[in-house]
């Protein structure tokens, strides 16, 4: 018998039964004693187009019921070496985005105080800013691998500093990032001006637009990421809209010409060897994908993130 928590197996309970936790893992109230934890942030009050990401964490958990503990592609067996549980959701104030930012930051301060690595189920992308604030307080400025269709570096949206299009501008302003070790991958679509993508480049960030990955593997790019980031603490933020809407239509701001699911797997698996201190998977909006496939892909990517933790 292992001393580590195990996902509930399909031969112990039918896949359509059992607890609605991530991978049907045990639940606990805090991150105490955990090497890594799954935590949800059911929020869409920072969205600018289609809502529904408040329902993302619940459906990601539901679609994770088919996941098994052993990674057949990479040989990773995270539940043989780490204590992992689902610690529930952050109790945001769904009527106040500004208050929710600080609620999230305080919640993650508590998680990080236990030395646990949080794997976050989103939720709109506003949430990454307060997480990075807590990360900086724990680890100092961090490297960043940001996979997204959008740069999310707006100075403001409708005059507001808090929105899902501003988190990385806010994180930069607060000194949360190691600017020479920031990668933005998958950016594409229309914009207002070249500065929409070039602002990050001006800060020393590496911006890889989606077209640079058309018809090719992402593995060489991830070799470059690993060489650049080195042993610095690094945060992985993965917006599901980085994927082409043919794969993941269930999100709020879709853009054609995106990444494939196999490129997404290459990117996450390519983070193996990095000093990952946290990860998130954001912007899953279940109402726009009644098949559940967007959430299923999100659940698989979160499992892959768990597999590459140091």
Is 139 annotated as ligand-binding? no
Taking only the tens place, the pLDDT of each residue in 136-145 is: 999 999 999 9
Q: Is 89 annotated as a binding residue?
A: no
Mean pLDDT of the chain: 97
Give pLDDT, residue 182. 98
* 148 marked among binding-site residues: yes
In a domain, 5, yes or no: no
Neighbours of 310 (CB within 10 A): 12
Taking only the tens place, the pLDDT of each residue in 253-308 is: 999 999 999 999 999 999 999 999 999 999 999 999 999 999 999 999 999 999 99
Cis bond leading into 123, ω under 30°? yes
pTM summary value:
0.97
In a domain, 289, yes or no: yes
Query: Residue 261's pLDDT is what?
Result: 98
Q: What pLDDT is recorded for position 310?
A: 84
- Is 1 a member of any domain? no
Residue 12, domain member (yes or no): no
| Nearest-angstrom CA–CA distance, 149 and 146 | 10
62 is in an annotated binding site: no
Q: What is the rounded average pLDDT of the residues 122-127?
A: 97
The CATH number assigned to the domain holding 204 equals 3.40.800.10
Structure confidence by residue, pLDDT tens digits, 4-54: 999 999 999 999 999 999 999 999 999 999 999 999 999 999 999 999 999
Residue 205, domain extent: 22-42+50-307
Asked whether residue 152 is marked as a ligand-binding residue, the answer is: yes
200-230 pLDDT, tens per residue?
999 999 999 999 999 999 999 999 999 999 9
Residue 290: inside a domain: yes
pLDDT of residue 1: 54
Residue 112 is assigned to a structural domain of this protein: yes
How far apart, in Å, are the Cα atoms of 192 and each of 154, 196, 201, 212? 11, 7, 16, 21
Q: Is residue 17 part of a domain?
A: no
**Structural domain total, the chain:** 1
d(CA 28, CA 50): 32
Domain annotation covers residue 10: no
| Each residue's pLDDT tens digit, 182-192 | 999 999 999 99
């Amino acid at each position: 018998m292992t001393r580590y928590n195990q996902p509930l197996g399909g031969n112990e309970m039918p896949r359509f039964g059992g607890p609605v936790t991530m991978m049907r893992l045990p639940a606990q109230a805090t991150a105490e004693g955990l090497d890594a934890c799954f935590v949800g942030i059911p929020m869409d009050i920072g969205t600018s187009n289609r809502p529904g990401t408040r329902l993302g964490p619940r459906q990601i958990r539901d679609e994770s019921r088919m996941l098994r503990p052993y990674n057949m592609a990479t040989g990773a067996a995270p539940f043989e070496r780490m204590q992992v549980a689902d610690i529930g959701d952050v109790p945001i104030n769904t009527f106040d985005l500004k208050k929710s930012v600080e609620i999230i930051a305080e919640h993650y301060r508590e998680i990080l105080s236990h030395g646990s690595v949080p794997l976050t189920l989103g939720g709109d992308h506003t949430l990454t800013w307060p997480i990075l604030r807590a990360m900086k307080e724990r680890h100092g400025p961090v490297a960043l691998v940001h996979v997204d269709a959008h740069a999310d570096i707006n100075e403001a949206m409708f005059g507001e500093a808090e929105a899902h299009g501003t988190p990385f501008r806010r994180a930069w302003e607060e000194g949360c990032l190691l600017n020479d070790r920031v990668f933005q991958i998958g950016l594409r679509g229309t914009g207002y001006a070249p500065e929409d993508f070039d602002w990050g480049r001006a800060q020393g960030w590496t911006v890889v637009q989606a077209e640079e990955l058309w018809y090719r593997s992402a593995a060489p790019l991830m070799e470059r990421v690993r060489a650049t980031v080195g042993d610095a603490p690094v945060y992985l933020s993965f917006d599901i809209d980085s994927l082409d809407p043919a794969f993941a239509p269930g999100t709020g701001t879709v853009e054609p010409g995106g990444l494939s699911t196999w490129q997404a797997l290459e990117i996450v698996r390519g983070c193996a060897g990095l000093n990952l201190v946290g990860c998130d998977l954001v912007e899953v909006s279940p109402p726009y994908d009644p098949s559940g496939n967007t959430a299923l892909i999100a659940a698989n990517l979160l499992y892959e993130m768990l597999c590459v933790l140091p």
